[in-house]
Structure 1
């Protein structure tokens, strides 16, 4: 029997209840704005590079009745864990994620792409998506009217199947 060494975080509420697990977000994205509690100048220094970013407030989350999202926003702001993509998906932070010391809040597409491109270096590690997302944003695509219906059908089939896999925790098989 294989047992995971780290208890899984399945929601914002679980993340807030694990203060030793620090949330990290992609600097400059709507995810940071979504949980920002106030307009704050964030100055980060990683190695020899400095990043300055004005993080905006998004009223629906700031005024949210969800205390867990507000708490995550406070932690990200106070600990300055809104970081550039090179840091967010860097080996150092991913190693902390596998040890249960950090969590990455990002969209599934970016997270899947970035982690699968480096997962060979994390033998025995487990990366997963929480059951409950922080935010839901649909993917929209546009096609010309004269596109071959068979091609359009294949595109839609793949998209719907991938969306179902994400919603069902990657358990549903695609044809």
Structure 2
């Protein structure tokens, strides 16, 4: 076993009730359960404790003060030794006004945040509508592109047919011209 050990005694003594009352400024001792000296000596003599001899650890007493108010100081704050804030009523009013101003500024920021949020929502909806419209136009352009390709192919086919017809017509015209030309040549010769 090492270090300080505390064990609960079989009986717990209660502090007298007059020590626990807070009459303002009286010192009140906290009730501490710890080993008795005789118990520690008995275990030290038996050799169960190695190293330094055990000592009792006592908790210091605490000074309890009554609440002081009415002098412009905050009630419940001891102005003598607590090292805490010591504010007068006017200082408290200044702190309160500062808190009110901070609260109003915070409310404005919240309202501006809500306005920004609604503006962002409107912009997101407009962006979504534009994206949908762009997708529809892209689909229409793709469909038009397909139609344009079909028209282009049809135009090429018609042009090829016309070229074939032109070539056929040219050869027919040449044949007709030869026939008619041969006819005229014979009639002159005769």
TM-score (norm 2): 0.16
Structure number, greater radius of gyration = 2
Q: Which has the higher helix share?
A: 2
Q: Which has the higher strand share?
A: 1
